[in-house]
Amino acid sequence: MSGISSPGIGSGLDVKSIVDALVKAEITPTKNRLDRQEADLTTKLSAFGQIKSALAKLQTSMMKLADLSQFNTLTTSVSDNSALTTSISSSSAASPGNYQLQVQQLATQQNLASAAFASSATTVGDGTLTINFGTYSNNNTVFTANPSAQPLTITISPGQDSLASIRDAINNSGSGVQASIVQDNTGARLTLMSTNTGQASAMQITVADSDGNNTDASGLSALAYDPTTGVNSLTQTVAAVDSQVYINGLLLTQSTNQLQTAIQGININLLKAQPGVNVNLSVSTNQTQVTSMVNDFIKQYNDTMSTLNSLTSYDPSTKKGSPLQSDAGVRALKFSLSSLLSQSIGSNSGSIQSLADLGIMSDDKGLLSMDSNTFNNALNTNANAIATFFAKSATTTDPNIRVQSVGLNVAAGSYAIAINSFTPGSTLSGTIGGIFASSTDGRTLNGSGIYAGLSLDVLAGSTGDRGFVQVTDGLAAQFNNLLSTYLDTGGTLESRTDQINSGLDDVSKQRDQLALRAQSLADRYSKQFTALDTLLSSMQNTSNFLSQQLANLPLSNQKRN
């Protein structure tokens, strides 16, 4: 704000101070009003930021509970981890159950050893080694090549035919054989190990010896191995055998110790053979995960309600309310959240129809607590009912159509299913809710548009109308829907914060206008008081002149005399 910065020219008036005081007196009421308005809006903006953060965390928790697949995750346990270990490969494919296993034998890699040589530098001989992989008959009279294993041909050149050089040539071939030199009491031995386990990975080694004799034990023939012809220059130290394990009394034989298809959705890693000894395997719902999700829901809900209670409270002792104490929208949010909690999920045909059935209760502040004994009992006896109580789920009226998955975006309702074409495992198309649905495997019908995320397995049946799929929202799914109305782009919270930001913008504009008005007032007052000062100065000069003239009159001089 500009103005005169020195006392008046002749009057002695402090024009700047006078102007500043007048301007301040005029604009202060408006400035104070804008300060209060800005502080109130800023406080409310911060409050809505707290609400948004709390609701976002609550929605993240609810989205997990609303996803039915989260309840279908399984876990395994075995009675003897030294005999075998297990893991879940696919929760959707696996099923809860108990299994009894007996590990009769482990799959092994064939190991062959040469006769002893003086040292690793000893010359063996040059020529060609050919290694085939396959299976020997029980009496070793027939060798059947493994069609999935390529034969290996290695050329041993003169000068590169020491025991160590042959080892390196085999290892550098990138084949299914690992060569090593073992020094024992008799000398250096070349050992060959098939890198794959199982009976079909046994080795047949033939040679084309440069000395012309491919079957004697001298030269490169010292590395020949073919029991079907009696050429056994190498000695078998470990046989190639398949794993053998009984699963619920059924004998399973495989080439590896990693069983990935024996029990659907379960990986089994065999570690130790114990013929006749039972190992118990249990596949069950991952109750720890379910409990963790529910506990997180309770925590996030309580955090949200505590935030809302704090922001809408009133302190009678100070007679002051919190920033959103009178905000009807926030109170409506609190009411909506608490109302959802108290409702009964009537579509749930199980014994779990309310949070109270899970031991989850609300206190007078709207905060939740859980009775662990009640919850654990429900989880142990009715895990499926808990899943459908919380999650979005779907069922079909056609027994030959099974729900594979339902996305959170699919609205609750009943939707007609029609099959247009169906060749099992080849082609499948149709409609869900009248909207085109397609398949990539001739089995699973995938919805599109508003039904994207809804997938149905068609197991059998003909084309035409195939009944309905009923999509139902559990408690968490309903919470997710409600929270989306507040948190989504264009939702209630965004609308409220936009209003507040608009108010802050308006305050800023009013401040700019007030600054212009203050400058205008300062300029006007400065001109007025400058003119007054000039007038006073002129009058003072006139007064001084008159006084001087009067003093010079004769009469004045006589009086002094």
pLDDT per position as a tens digit, 301-323: 999 999 999 999 988 888 888 88
pLDDT tens track for 463-520:
999 999 999 999 999 999 999 999 998 889 999 999 999 999 999 999 999 889 888 8
SS3 202: strand
Contact 85, 78 (CB under 8 A): yes
pLDDT at 4 over 60: no
In angstroms, rounded to a whole number, what is the distance separating the alpha carbons of residues 9 and 530?
A: 9
Contact 425, 434 (CB under 8 A): no
HSE value, Cβ hemisphere, 13 Å, CA-based, for 306: 11
Burial of 25 (0-12, 13-18, 19+ CB in 10 A): exposed
Gyration radius of the chain over CA positions: 45
For the chain, report the end-to-end CA distance as a whole number of angstroms.
Answer: 56
In angstroms, rounded to a whole number, what is the distance separating the alpha carbons of residues 384 and 474?
A: 12
In angstroms, rounded to a whole number, what is the distance separating the alpha carbons of residues 405 and 455?
A: 5
Contact 127, 83 (CB under 8 A): no
Q: How confident is the model at residue 16 (pLDDT cuts 50, 70, 90)?
A: confident
Look at residues 547, 535, 543, 542 and name the one whose alpha carbon lies nearest to residue 9.
535
Q: What is the pLDDT of residue 5?
A: 46
Q: How is residue 264 written in tokens?
A: 């659907």
* % of the chain beyond a pLDDT of 70: 94
Query: Which whole number is the average pLDDT over 222-237?
Result: 95
pLDDT tens track for 265-295:
999 999 999 999 999 999 988 899 999 999 9
- The helix (H) or strand (E) run that includes residue 82 is none
Q: What is the pLDDT of residue 147?
A: 95
Q: What is the pLDDT of residue 135?
A: 97
Query: Which whole number is the average pLDDT over 364-390?
Result: 93
DSSP state of 91: T
* % of the chain beyond a pLDDT of 90: 72
Look at residues 281, 272, 275 and name the one whose alpha carbon lies nearest to residue 106.
272
The CA angle 463-427-433, to the nearest 5 degrees, is 50
Contact 105, 243 (CB under 8 A): yes
pLDDT tens track for 157-195:
999 999 999 999 999 988 789 999 999 999 999 999 999
| Spacing of C-alpha 508 from chain mean position | 42
Contact 98, 280 (CB under 8 A): yes
Residues 6+ apart with CB under 8 A from 194: 109, 110, 111, 133, 176, 177, 201, 202, 203, 240
Look at residues 467, 454, 296, 308 and name the one whose alpha carbon lies nearest to residue 390.
296
HSE value, Cβ hemisphere, 13 Å, CA-based, for 1: 23
Q: How is residue 41 written in tokens?
A: 């809006």
Q: How is residue 438 written in tokens?
A: 């397609």
Decide the pairing of beta strands 152-156 and 360-362. unpaired
Look at residues 59, 49, 99 and name the one whose alpha carbon lies nearest to residue 77.
99
Residues 6+ apart with CB under 8 A from 313: 321, 322, 325
Look at residues 297, 287, 289 and name the one whose alpha carbon lies nearest to residue 480.
297
Q: How confident is the model at residue 346 (pLDDT cuts 50, 70, 90)?
A: low
Place of tokens 């400065």: 526
Tell me the whole-structure pTM to 2 decimals: 0.70
Contact 396, 81 (CB under 8 A): no
